[in-house]
Each structure stands twice: as structure tokens, then as C-alpha cells.
Chains A and B, each alone.
Chain A
């Protein structure tokens, strides 16, 4: 069965610091990759997604992620975080042709002003 690993459970950064959150998946077939964000008290929202094509995908709010197939990774990055980025971030994977998502355990990001 496929699984998704997020290595960082809790990350604390100061404003303007750069962010990279790791995500690895364990499936050798063709996958679709997602990053979701959950702000405090709100529902999950899609940050960005990768289906095919350019492995560097850009999402909302200045976030980007790079798909490295050889490493089974889809790390999330942002060059300069803001206090408003404080949230929980989830990486998710679906098999191509299926819509069901497998989520990682999430990374709680705390940005200090």
C-alpha cells in the first residue's frame, strides 16, 4: 500500500526565513501529488498540485514544490515566510486515475514575528 511521509512534524521559523518541508511517498507507479494547508480553525485548502509536466510547480501565496521522481519526493518551499503562513501543511498522493488521497501526517509550521 502506498504511504506518504512528512519528516518534519513541527517547524518554527522567524518571519522572512526560507521554508522547505519534506514529503516522500512510497509508490513506484504514476502518482498525482498535492500539498494542502489548514490554517487555524479553517478547513483544508489546496496549495498546489502536480499531475505531469514541469516538475517545479507553483502554487498560491508564493509556495512552490518540486517533484523529484528518483527520490520519490515532493518538497514544499517558500523563499520568505510570513506570520500568516502559520498553519498545518499536509502532503497527499493519489494514484493516477484515482481520486482517493493518501495523506502524510502533517507538519505544523509556526512563524514567529
Chain B
């Protein structure tokens, strides 16, 4: 099956710094990538949808200036958490889809655990 990687798998940073998380589709071209956030013992919450070469679409309540998403190529999307605070600590998961239809399966990355001190 299709493989999606995330880097780093784990990051600890100080409050006020910015952190970049990469999501890569390793063996297919991802026209669309999704970013989710998961709090402990809770569900995945969609943060934003990004299409290659265009601006991301953010879900209601997600600050686009805080969570910067770039989908510059068909195999790479990045999520930058700017001026991170302890409440941003969470598990961030990306998924990638190769087509434009709702029938195209999403393949998930292994997630990145962010801890903000």
C-alpha cells in the first residue's frame, strides 16, 4: 500500500518557538493532504486540507496564522506551528490522497508528537 511518512516523529520545544512538521508521500503523488490533531484519548480532529500549489483550507476554529501549511509539491506538505505554546502540545497526523474524488483513499502518516514546554 501507499506509504506516508512524517518527520520528526517526536519534538520538544520551548514556548514561543516555531516547529515545522513534514509529511511526505513516499510512493505516490498526493494532490491533497490533510492535517489532523489528536488529543489524548480523543478523536482525530481535522485542522486543514491542502491541495498542491494552492492555499490550504482551514476548519472552523483553526488559526491559519498559527498553523501554517505549505503543500509545495506533490509529495510534501509541511505544517509549521508558529509561536508554540503548551496548549499546542498534541499529536499531529497527516494523511495524503492521490486523487480529487471522495472515493480516493487517504493514507495516514505515523504522526508527530509535539510537546511545548
Contact = CB atoms under 8 A, between A and B. Distances in A.
Interface string B88-117: 000001010100011111101111000000
B32 interface: yes
Contact of B102 (A32, A36, A104, A105): A32
A49 B104 CA distance: 11
A43 B43 contact: no
Interface of B: 1, 4, 32, 34, 36, 41-46, 49, 59, 93, 95, 97, 101-106, 108-111
A97 interface: yes
A42 B46 contact: no
Interface string A42-58: 11111001010000000
Contacts of A95: 102
Interface of A: 4, 32, 36, 42-46, 49, 51, 90, 94-106
Given A43-B110, A100-B49, A94 B44 contact: no
A51 B43 CA distance: 22
Contacts of A44: 93, 95, 108
A52 B31 CA distance: 24
Contacts of B102: 32, 94-99
Given A43-B4, A44-B93, A103 B44 contact: yes
A51 B108 contact: no
Given A99-B104, A101-B34, 17 more contacts: A32-B102, A36-B108, A42-B110, A43-B4, A43-B110, A44-B95, A45-B108, A46-B105, A49-B105, A94-B102, A96-B102, A99-B102, A101-B44, A103-B43, A103-B45, A104-B43, A106-B43
